[in-house]
Amino acid sequence: MGVSEWFKERLGLDDLPFFRTPDYMYKVEYWLGALVAGSFIYTVISGLILLLYYNPEAGYSSTETLIQEVPYGSVVLYSHLYGAYAMIILAYVHMFRNYFAGAYKKPRELLWILGVLMLVLTLGTAFLGYSLIGDALATSAVDVGEGIITSIPSLSFLIPILFGNYDAGDYGRVLAWHIILVALIGVLFMLHFFMAEHYGMMPSKKEKNKAPAVYTKEEWQKFNPWWPRNFVYMTSLVFMTWGFILLIPNALAYLNGLPQELDPFLNPKPAPPPNSPAAAHITTYPPWFFLFLYKIADFTSDVV
């Protein structure tokens, strides 16, 4: 018995109720969820490393220390940032692809609801993580967020709960919520994953053109087993995603070394601190994934 067969038998991989896959589904469009998962896993791992060095009572200075003094600290921080960005972009692509494919229909309604809920939590988590840096852009984004919340009188009580003493430079409450939301995403992700494996990926309309679009047990048994085919394919996509996440900040770091410095919107480096003279020359705006909320606030003069 070979090593792979030994693990297969001991782990009971043949008995797992995971989805068996037809050959035509080995295309990236059917595995966008794996790309999202890869981004999430990388962001969690890099976030745990950052947590070892981050001081919520001195957010900006501890971030600068991480970049300047910790070996490979800038790589971890910048790739954490772009891992989160990749997760958001891929989640939107995954959601719209599944919407137009009809993957929200019976029997996958709950699977769709969980996905939308995870997207909302991801946006909230990203906003809180963005705020932890404490630079001029983060402070401005928090100000806009607080303005939107306080514009609804019944929600004003949420400000101290969500942000604590943020204005005084204490980011402990924001960090706590950031970690809590990541944990919630992790729990929902596991549930989402097992439900997706139970129902399988949405078949091509050439195969199943009406709900419920699922393969029968007899059809299912003819497909490729989850182990090792699906596992290897999924793992290769995850590693490919990690490669791109690591490549982007390094490419931007190179571009930032050129005579024309990157715009702060693209630059992974923190902007100047909010009370510094340099901050006066920075055009402040929230993170790109919340620009739509910024415009809503911009059109409402009593909020901003």
Q: Is the pLDDT of residue 120 over 50?
A: yes
pLDDT of res. 145: 79
Q: What is the pLDDT of residues 19-57, one digit of tens each?
A: 888 899 999 999 999 999 999 999 999 999 999 999 999
- Between the CA of residue 226 and those of 39, 58, 200, 286, what are the distances in Å? 21, 47, 11, 42
pTM: 0.87
91-95, 113-117, 211-215, 266-270, range with the lowest pLDDT: 211-215
Please give the pLDDT value at position 259. Answer: 43
For residue 60, pLDDT beyond 70: yes
144, 146, 168, 277, 293 from 304: Cα distances, Å: 6, 9, 20, 22, 11
The domain segmentation of the chain, as residue ranges, is: 29-199+206-298
**DSSP state for residue 290 in the 8-state scheme:** G
Specify whether the CB–CB gap between 18 and 226 falls below 8 A.
yes
**Confidence class for position 303, pLDDT limits 50, 70, 90:** very low
User: How confident is the model over 242-279, as pLDDT tens digits?
Assistant: 999 998 777 766 666 554 456 666 677 888 888 888 77
Query: How crowded is the C-beta side of 108, counted as CA atoms within 13 Å?
Result: 26
Check residues 230 and 297 and name the one with the higher pLDDT.
230
CATH for the 29-199+206-298 domain, from 3.40.1190.20, 3.30.1490.20, 3.60.15.10, 1.20.810.10:
1.20.810.10
Cα 296 to Cα 119, 151, 304: the distances in Å are 20, 12, 10
| pLDDT computed for residue 268 by the predictor | 76
Is the pLDDT assigned to residue 81 strictly greater than 60?
Answer: yes
Residue that wins the pLDDT comparison between 1 and 97:
97
pLDDT at 304: 45
What is the pLDDT, as a whole number, of residue 87? 96
Distance CA(53)–CA(73), nearest Å, equals 9
Task: Give how far Cα 108 sits from Cα of 189, 191, 199, 212, 295, Å.
Answer: 15, 13, 7, 9, 34
